[in-house]
């Protein structure tokens, strides 16, 4: 049983439809992942709560596929989704892999940073992508900065900590305005 486009929740973040799973669809998705088939993870961005849900029950075999796809996935969406799940897993090795991908894959970095902007501000996806490209253009930077500071030290999710730190460091020129 695979998750089809019809099973994808209509919940939206900005202009982006996000994959949200319930317990049954999560099990089906992970069954495919364990066989090396990413299914909708290849082209459908996941919601933060989907990443947390997957990370909370992922088997070591599935985690291995996520690690492989984070580096070698054939789409930026698959690599980004994989990084987001790995970031919810414990261990220094997982954290190191997330950081390595974010520092070396500009497409994944852009999507992760835009997702963090969108999640924290509820800005339109187009504006979030622009902010990922140039953090000094993010509307109301002083309003966002405290949320980024909190996210930079949150122990839940390496990619969010990395993205918050990345954004804060690049917003320095506009935070005094």
**pLDDT digits 0-9 by tens, 101-156:** 999 999 999 999 999 999 999 999 999 999 999 999 999 999 999 999 999 998 88
Share of the chain above pLDDT 90, in %: 80
Is 169 in a helix, a strand, or coil? helix
C-beta separation of 19 from 27 below 8 A: no
Residue 176: the pLDDT is: 79
Q: In sequence order, what DSSP letters do the residues of 48-109 get, joined into one string?
A: HHHHHHHHHH--HHHHHHHHHHHHH-SSHHHHHHHHHHHTTS-SHHHHHHHHHHHHH-HHHH
C-beta separation of 38 from 32 below 8 A: yes
Q: How confident is the model at residue 16 (pLDDT cuts 50, 70, 90)?
A: low
Give the C-alpha separation, 54 to 32, whole Å.
Answer: 13
Q: How many CA atoms lie within 13 A of 77 on its CB side?
A: 14
Mean pLDDT in the chain?
Answer: 89
């Amino acid at each position: 049983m695979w998750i089809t486009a019809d099973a994808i929740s209509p919940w939206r973040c900005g202009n982006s439809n996000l994959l949200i799973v319930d317990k049954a669809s999560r099990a089906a998705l992970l069954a495919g992942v364990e066989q090396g088939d990413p299914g909708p993870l290849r082209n459908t961005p996941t919601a933060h709560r989907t990443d947390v849900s997957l990370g909370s029950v992922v088997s070591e075999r599935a985690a291995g596929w996520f690690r492989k796809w984070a580096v070698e996935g054939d789409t930026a969406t698959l690599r980004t989704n994989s990084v987001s799940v790995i970031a919810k897993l414990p261990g220094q090795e997982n954290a190191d892999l997330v950081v390595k991908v974010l520092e070396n894959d500009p497409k994944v970095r852009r999507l992760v940073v835009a997702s963090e902007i969108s999640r924290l501000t509820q800005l339109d996806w187009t504006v979030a992508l622009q902010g990922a490209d140039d953090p000094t253009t993010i509307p109301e930077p002083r309003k966002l900065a405290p949320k980024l500071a909190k996210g930079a030290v949150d122990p839940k999710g390496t990619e969010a900590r990395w993205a918050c730190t990345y954004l804060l460091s690049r917003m320095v020129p506009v935070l005094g305005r």
